[in-house]
Amino acid sequence: MASPNGGEDFESSLLSFENLDRASPDLWPEQLPGVAEFAASYKNPITNSPPKWMAELESEDIEMLKELGSLTTANLMEKVKGLQNLAYQLGLEESREMTRGKFLNILERPKK
């Protein structure tokens, strides 16, 4: 018959006193490169300088980010579909121009 303290002995036998630190990149590789650096920079909101990624943005870029951030999910999806359609149309136009260039022999390398 099991002793009354048998449950506690069993639980204490399951404890592990290993120290699992994340110092080794071999044991704990960063799953998404750059996330640790971003998280470290985000933890210190007292800095007066903007983040590195914002330093190269112009006022038009910031306005675009604010506009996109204010869209609902449906409106954002509509915007993405519009961009996909525009990219498709540009691809078709580029294909036509490349074919035209091929027929006009303007893309041929000069012969030596």
What is the full per-residue pLDDT of the chain (112 aa) written as tens digits?
A: 445 556 678 888 887 777 766 665 555 666 677 777 777 776 655 656 777 777 788 889 989 999 999 999 999 999 999 999 999 999 999 999 999 988 888 877 777 6
Indicate the burial class of 74 (C-beta count within 10 angstroms; 0-12, 13-18, 19 or more).
Answer: exposed
- The Cβ of residue 76 has, within 10 Å, a number of other Cβ atoms equal to 13
What is the domain partition of the chain in residue ranges? Answer: 30-104
